[in-house]
Amino acid sequence: MSLAEKSVPGPVRYRNQATGRVLSVLLAFTNSSQPRGVAELSRALGMNKNMVHRALTTLTAEGYLVRDVSGARYQLGPRLLTLPAGALHESDIVALARPALEQLHALTGESVYLSIIVGRNRVTVDDIQAQGARVLRSARGHPVPLHCTKMSRVLLAHLSDADIAAYLAAAAPLARASRFPDPPSESERGIWQDIAAIRAVPFLLWRNPHASSAAYAIFPVCDASGHPHAILTVGGPRERFDLAEIEARLPRMRAILEPLEREARLFPAPIFLAEI
Amino acid sequence: MSSSAARALRILDWIARAGRPLGVSEIAREASLAPGTVFRSLDALVRADFIARYQASARYVPANAVERLRRSVIAGFRMREPVLPYLRQLASASGETVSLHVRLGWYGVRIASALGTAEVTSAANLGETQPLGDYYAGKAMLAFLSEAHIARYGDWLAGHGVPFREQARELHAVKKRGFASGDADFTGARAVAFPIRSTQEPIAAIAIEGPVLPRTGEHHGGFSDWRETVAHVEALARAQAGLFENPFAHLDPNSLIL
């Protein structure tokens, strides 16, 4: 055996069981924002309580864990934030969706919008506005109640039934402002019917009933549980972008959206709070 | 208490703070330990995915488990989730990067962010900590604490040999104005930061920052809209107090050195 081979020992020979146990206990706190106690960790890790207690004592002394407010359980310590393991960045649906917005606009030449739920409203947070005399316009940052307009309702429809019920109770009375003339139903029953229709399709094609209005394709972007991160909307005046034109481009639109939909499933959508 | 585990955790700390890959002999020299002892610690840390070999060399860098744990600490602040859409709304309205900061003892820490939509925007590293008085978001929280709390912060700073008098004057101005603004960092980026107050005291701050923000953020055309959005977040914090609890509020601020 050469000297070089001797100086690089095999991993099994150097296995350090006591350290391994302590690191396992620390790792048990990953993805858990709730404090954990000795008995619970002992069950989860298959270690006896003494081992777990010793590991917790070590981790607390080194600042990796702290006792929780009750003093009986443990939580990750703020010291972990000081370990500069590389930059942590937010999974941001706006940044993720930008390439899809650009590609959809390049494909259609029409206006493209990314909208999210903020409070009890839909808010457009990114857009590419089409150029020309007759184009679809929608103000960025302008709040629209979740029960008003088809775009809002696609977001509403992808919330849980309990969240929708809480929204409808909090937003009552559901009078529709005159600036949001579509769709016609204003009753709670009508909205639930609309939600059922939206849920029955993977995306929504819609045109307002007025002859001089716009047509839209509205695509929900959801997390792994089906909760909505956002909607992507492509829309234009019906004389050049009616449903037939949209349908002809649908396969390419869906291919553009596929990478975004896949990435969006990897992190949770924001929680919805109706009672603010 | 396990001395071998404590040793491994300290070695992890060295590797994470080094900012460059470290080898066995360098760590052994720094820690006054035998190379074999260091190697046993490194082996355990590699097996648990806390460190990894740097590009198949004999030197080590932090690995996935450290990042997962840091993310878990940040996820403990449940206010992140309901506030994120508001940050995105502000980022869209201002074009700048918008962040949510909370108190961690006498420090501020960035726990959520939404990237700006302008051509040039500021990066926003989650988990970044700074003493409260050292940056705009920290000042927005510090200025609205009680006089007794601010005095304790001053004592803490003095204990670290840092004078507080100048900062105290600035905090009075921030409180009077209702927000903090000014130079964000050495790059010359500008920022404006608003406190998020519950019924009693500031629990967080929202900062809008970026190189294209005018020097005095309050002169920006959308300033009143920004304040309105921040007011919505404050209303949310009062209505959903449980979600806005700080998981480290029970710790003595003087005991935290970050």
Could you tell me if A227 and A269 are in contact, meaning their C-beta atoms sit under 8 angstroms apart? yes
Residues of A in contact with B84 (CB under 8 A): 90, 270
Q: Does the structure show a pLDDT above 70 at B206?
A: yes
CB-based contact B88 A27, cutoff 8 Å: no
- Give the per-residue pLDDT at A176: 61
- In A76-225, which residue ranges form alpha helices assigned H by DSSP? 93-108, 150-157, 161-171, 188-199
Across the interface, whether the CB atoms of B72 and A90 are under 8 A apart is answered no
Rounded to whole angstroms, the Cα distance separating A11 from A66 reads 32
**Does the beta-carbon distance from A76 to B12 stay under 8 Å?**
no
Digit-coded pLDDT (tens) for B228-241:
999 999 999 999 88
Instruction: For residue B125, give the H/E element and its range.
Output: none
Q: Which of A130-134, B3-7, B148-152, B213-217 has the highest mean pLDDT?
A: B148-152
Q: Residue B4 has what pLDDT?
A: 87
Per-residue pLDDT reduced to its tens digit, B126-146 = 888 899 998 889 999 999 999
Q: What is the pLDDT, as a whole number, of residue B213?
A: 57
CA distances from A191 to A14, A76, B205 (A): 65, 44, 37
Indicate left, alpha or beta for B40 from its phi (over 0: left) and psi (-120 to 50: alpha). Answer: alpha
Residue B185 pLDDT > 60: no
- B89 vs A contacts (CB less than 8 Å): 116, 118, 123, 125, 141
Residue A99 contacts B where some CB pair is shorter than 8 Å:
no
CA-to-CA distance for B73 and B56, rounded, in angstroms? 30
Question: Cα distance from B164 to chain A (closest Cα, Å)?
Answer: 24
Cα separation of B177 and A204, whole Å?
47
Strands of B129-131's sheet, edge to edge? B129-131, B107-114, B97-104, B202-210, B190-197, B180-183
Mind listing the pLDDT tens digit for each residue in B77-128? 999 989 999 999 998 888 888 999 999 999 999 999 988 876 666 666 888 8
Q: Which amino acid is present at A250?
A: L
DSSP letter (8 states) at residue B243: G
Q: Enumerate residues 110 to 139 of chain B having a beta carbon within 8 A of any beta carbon in chain A.
A: 112-115, 117, 123-127, 129
**A111-143 tens-digit pLDDT:** 999 999 998 999 999 999 888 777 777 777 788
Interchain proximity A19–B115, CB inside 8 Å: no
Q: Does B225 touch chain A (CB under 8 A)?
A: yes
Block residue for tokens 């995915």: B49
In angstroms, how far apart are the furthest CA atoms of chain B?
Answer: 63
Give the bridge partners for B62, in sequence order. B51
- How far apart CA A55 and CA A40 sit, in angstroms, is 14
Q: Which residues of chain A neighbour B9 with C-beta distances below 8 Å?
A: 22, 58-59, 62, 64
Section B247-257 average pLDDT: 90
Q: How many residue pairs bridge chain A and chain B with CB atoms within 8 Å of each other? A: 218
Q: What is the per-residue pLDDT for A85?
A: 55
Mean pLDDT, each 10-residue run in order, chain A (276 residues): 37 64 92 86 93 94 93 92 68 88 94 93 91 75 87 95 92 68 68 93 85 85 93 90 92 94 86 77
Strand B190-197 to strand B202-210: parallel, antiparallel, or no bridges (unpaired)? antiparallel
pLDDT at B162: 85
Question: pLDDT class for B1, splitting at 50, 70, 90?
Answer: low
Selected residues 143-202 of chain B with any CB under 8 Å from a CB in chain A: none
- The distance from CA B148 to its chain's CA centroid, rounded to whole angstroms, is 23
Whether B1 contacts chain A with CB within 8 A: yes
Q: Hey, is the C-beta of A142 within 8 angstroms of any chain B C-beta? A: no
Structure ipTM: 0.87
Q: Hey, what are B116's tokens?
A: 């700006």
Per-residue pLDDT, A7: 40
Mean pLDDT of B41-68: 89
Give pTM, 2 decimals.
Answer: 0.78
Q: Which one of B5, B125, B127 has the shortest CB-CB distance to A19?
A: B5
**What integer pLDDT is reported at residue B46 of this predicted model?**
92
pLDDT higher than 80, residue B220: no
